Amino acid sequence: MNPEVKTSKPSTGSEPTVRFVPVPALLFLLFGVLFYFGQLYLDRYSGGFNAKVYEPYKSWKMVQDLQPKGAGDVLFAKGRKIYDTACVACHQATGLGAVGIAPPLAGSEWVLAEGPNRILRIIYSGLSGPITVKGVQYSLAMPAMGHDLNLSAEDLAAVATFIRGNKEWANSASPVTPESAKAVLDQVKDRTTQWSAEELNAVPVK
């Protein structure tokens, strides 16, 4: 005889169902709090994700500021302060200028010339009339910033050094010494009119 085969009886319980259950609001709140404190931690300790920044320093700027400074670095830092005071409103912190107002300094052929003779004259006595910068023509009425602010030769050298050598703008022209700025200042200090592009083109670049 065949052994007795037992068959299971179908369950009398209800069939499984699929339904949507709302995620508890408390879980969203927990994730939000974790995200917030995670951002605070990164902001404080990540150093801008720069491998050269480590404790106890918080940013690359802090590391740079603590490095030993040479004469060129001091001049560059001084030039940045003058630029931020007198030039940034028109030429912007990026050096890209403003359409219809000021031409770019970043990558400008006038800025990156072999020598600083022309840019020093522009800074001190201003510029008027049409000028072409990076293939675009601008009509300017730039004030005599250096004259109006009574900038010294060292001040002129500083701001020209900052503009010409600002690597944040991809500029890498040579720095300007106070001696070379003084030589230009002695020639233009009594000038009462702004320069034109035509006049500047007649001035040797160095």
Of 38-47, 48-57, 144-153, which has the strongest mean pLDDT?
A: 144-153
**Rounded Cα gap, residues 163 and 18, in angstroms:** 67
Question: Strands, DSSP E only, in 65-195?
Answer: 127-133, 136-142
CA 167 from chain center: how many Å?
9
Is 118 within the bounds of a domain?
Answer: yes
* CATH number assigned to the domain comprising residue 174: 1.10.760.10
Q: Tell me the residue range of the domain where 135 lies.
A: 71-201
Q: Per this entry, what is the length of the chain?
A: 206
Model pLDDT, residue 29: 84
Tally of domains in the chain: 1
Question: What is the DSSP annotation of 8-68?
Answer: PPPP-SPPP-----PPPHHHHHHHHHHHHHHHHHHHHHSGGG-TT--TT--SHHHHHHTS-
The pTM for the full model equals: 0.68
pLDDT per residue as tens digits for the range 92-124: 999 999 988 899 999 999 999 999 999 999 999
Evaluate whether residue 110 is within a structural domain. yes
